Amino acid sequence: MSNLSRRNVLSLGVALGLVGVAGAAPAWASAGSAAGAAAGSDPWWVWDDEVDRLVAGLFDNGQVPAVNTALRSWVNNGDPLPSGLPADLAAYLRRVTTLPSWADRAKLRLAADFNRRKDTYLFMLYGLGSGIMSTVIPREAASVYWSAGGADMQDRAAKTFTFGYDLSELNAFDPAGQFLVTSNKTRLVHAAVRHLLPRSPHWQQAVPDEQIPISNGDILVTFHSLGTFVHRKLREWHVPMTAAEEDAFLHSWQVAIHLLGVRDEFIPQTWAAADAQSAQVLTPILAPTREGRELAEDLLGLTAQIDLGVTRGFLNEFVRYVLSDAIGDWLQLPRDYAAAALVRTGWPAYIAFREGLLPIMPVGFYMFDQFIRALAMLFLDKGTSPTATLITIPTGNRP
């Protein structure tokens, strides 16, 4: 827990809208999972054995470049698997590129409709909330920084954004959609990182308590920094949501992390179970690191490449507003008190007007609106279509 005290952890949990930070049993040991019961495994010692073996074989046989070339044409869920893939990999992808038996297509369609109607808030929360929070998750920050993606954060962010974009599409799970393919390409990338990073002495030094990265536990932590965090912020911001929409939003994430290889026994069944698990596995581990500070600066510094219509001080203060001043201090984000006042008064008014709860357009509405659009396009592969972002198996670690 680095140099954090128990009081600091609890205070941060309150700031992030989380409770029950310490002293509870692991949430996955209860019946509150998508599987209905747990087998008693420890998610930090569970990886993705089958695909890990397959990808290790690709490296051993020098097949990664050829597989990447073949996979370029595999984009839509309904696309046939390309020729040129090793037979065992093709058989595996054919079997796993499908929804789990418990997936509810009606819920997934409702979630996609909800995502589209609330995309303004989601872009902001995923970009300046979850994206920056990932830099104070020490294991995740180290894995990103020392992998190949850490050397090109715009490309790395674009690929992460593509994952969320494809998940949010109305036809995400239909033949013309792309999420089944995107999630399984991401699963291959994770397997490659698990193969490559243990060979990096830099990563080993940064994360001495982890032998292999991206365990089921690590993916759960990332889920809570995304889905669970976003859900709680939407409620905190009083964004109107029906109970059915909230349930559907959770269901889309349940399916998403299942497709990434997380065992069903670890996947929270309800938002209450997700909140409890998040409070146990996410908040206590948040801490600053050198790698995380550099990644945060890279992400925020990307704004110099596109006109977002706001100052860097505004960005810093929005991060502080969304995540907490504690995290802002960890990342050494300079204060801009004028921008802080604008964010803390303007953003609630912006939401209220968008949701029809405020009859008069507030000052600064267009600034927030244009900023969010520009922020979204920044990560959609340098302002182009997200489908142009190629998810490929890495062949090495950070240069």
Q: Which residues pair with 33 in a beta bridge?
A: 268
Q: What is the DSSP letter of 394?
A: -
Chain centroid offset of residue 230 CA: 10
Residue 155 structural domain: 104-178+195-391
Residue 21 burial by CB count (10 A; 0-12/13-18/19+): exposed, middle or buried?
buried
Domain contains 203: yes
pLDDT band at 263 (very low <50, low <70, confident <90, very high): very high
Report yes or no: 21 and 13 within 8 Å, Cβ to Cβ: yes
Q: Which residue has the higher pLDDT, 291 or 377?
A: 291
Is 337 a residue whose pLDDT tops 70?
A: yes
Name the residue among 397, 348, 10 with its Cα closest to residue 195: 397
Contact 132, 299 (CB under 8 A): yes
In this prediction, residues 343-349 reach a mean pLDDT of 96
DSSP 229-252: HHHHHHHHTT----HHHHHHHHHH
Residue 321 and residue 343 in contact, taking contact as beta carbons nearer than 8 Å = yes
- The candidate with the shortest Cα–Cα distance to 163, out of 178, 148, 143, is 178
Say what the pLDDT of residue 15 is.
44
Is residue 58 in some structural domain?
no
The arithmetic mean of pLDDT across residues 257-280, rounded, is 97
pLDDT at residue 87, rounded to an integer: 97
Residue 2 has pLDDT above 60, yes or no: no
pLDDT digits (tens, 9 = 90+) for 78-94: 999 999 999 999 999 99
Residue 128 lies in a domain: yes
In a domain, 52, yes or no: no
d(CA 364, CA 375): 16
Answer yes or no: is 352 within a domain. Answer: yes
Rounded mean pLDDT of the chain?
87
pLDDT in tens, 357-366: 999 999 889 8
Residues 109-160 have pLDDT tens digits of 999 999 999 988 998 898 889 999 999 999 999 999 999 988 888 777 777 7
Q: Tell me the DSSP string of 358-369.
A: -SSPPTTHHHHH
Instruction: Decide if 247 is inside a domain.
Output: yes
290 domain residue, yes or no: yes
Total residues belonging to the chain: 399
Query: Of 138, 135, 261, 253, which is closest to residue 189 (Cα–Cα)?
Result: 261
CA–CA gap between residue 57 and residue 64 (Å, rounded): 9
Q: What's the mean pLDDT in 39-44?
A: 82
| Average pLDDT of the segment spanning 270-286 | 96
- 176-228 pLDDT, tens digit per residue, is 999 999 999 999 999 999 999 999 999 999 999 899 999 999 999 999 999 99
Total number of domains in the chain: 1
pLDDT score of 11: 40
User: Which tens digits make up the pLDDT trace of 293-329?
Assistant: 999 999 888 765 667 778 889 999 999 999 999 999 9
CA-wise closest residue to 241 among 377, 351, 148: 351
Specify the residue for token string 């990808």.
55
Three-state DSSP at 79 gives: coil
- Phi then psi dihedrals of residue 175, to 5 deg: -55, -35
In sequence order, which residues have a C-beta less than 8 Å from that of residue 221 and are 6 or more positions away?
137, 139, 140, 281, 282, 285
